[in-house]
Amino acid sequence: MLTAKVMLLGDMGVGKTSIMYRLVFDRFEGQYKTTLGVEILTHDVMLDVGGERELVRIVFWDTDGDFGTQIFDTVYVTGATAAIIVSDGTRPQTVTRMIELAASFEARFPGRPYRAVINKADLLAADCKNIGIADRSHVDLVSAKTGTGVAVSIAELAAALHRRSL
């Protein structure tokens, strides 16, 4: 079994806690208290690798959203294996921040996997879903509220972690 420390990064209110609760408890509560410091929860992903079942244990680190890119100057990121970098599709400035955080993560942890996740897809009109990001290979559109896209995104991350461990 592979265990990975996965940082949840992104501005306050983008839905980091909601995405984590959707994955871990399969529920959406609508209101979580603002995370103070860090909340750590574990989620197991079962991968099918050429017919073999492989377990990837994801240990989420959900930190207070006010750090911005200064999160990389804190002890929280020590030993991070991967990241889920979240934005709110209804707030373009959070998408800009997500791109900045992705660049900082790549610089700090070269080659370690991450997903850039545009959340709140349920609030986006169908014609607004083409958010202008040139390289879409790491980007997923999800909704913690409806659950759309969330499991697929984490499965992508788990698969990347598994490939990297080989």
Tokens read off for 65: 């959203």
Q: Is 123 a binder of ligand GDP (CB under 6 A)? A: yes
Least distance in Å: CB of 76 to ligand GDP?
15
| Beta carbons of 110 and 103 less than 8 angstroms apart | no
Q: Is 157 a binder of ligand GDP (CB under 6 A)? A: no
- The residue range among 15-23, 46-54, 108-116, 127-135 that interacts with ligand GDP, by the rule CB under 6 A, is 15-23
Helix (H, G, I), strand (E, B) or coil at 81: coil
Strand order in 2-9's β-sheet? 38-49, 52-63, 2-9, 82-88, 114-119, 139-141
Burial grade of 110 (CB within 10 A; 0-12, 13-18, 19 or more): exposed
- Site size with ligand GDP, rule: CB under 6 A: 20
Q: Is 91 a binder of ligand GDP (CB under 6 A)? A: no
Least distance in Å: CB of 121 to ligand GDP?
7
Q: Is 26 a binder of ligand GDP (CB under 6 A)? A: no
Positions in the binding site for ligand GDP (CB under 6 A): 10, 12-18, 30-32, 35, 65, 119-120, 122-123, 143-145
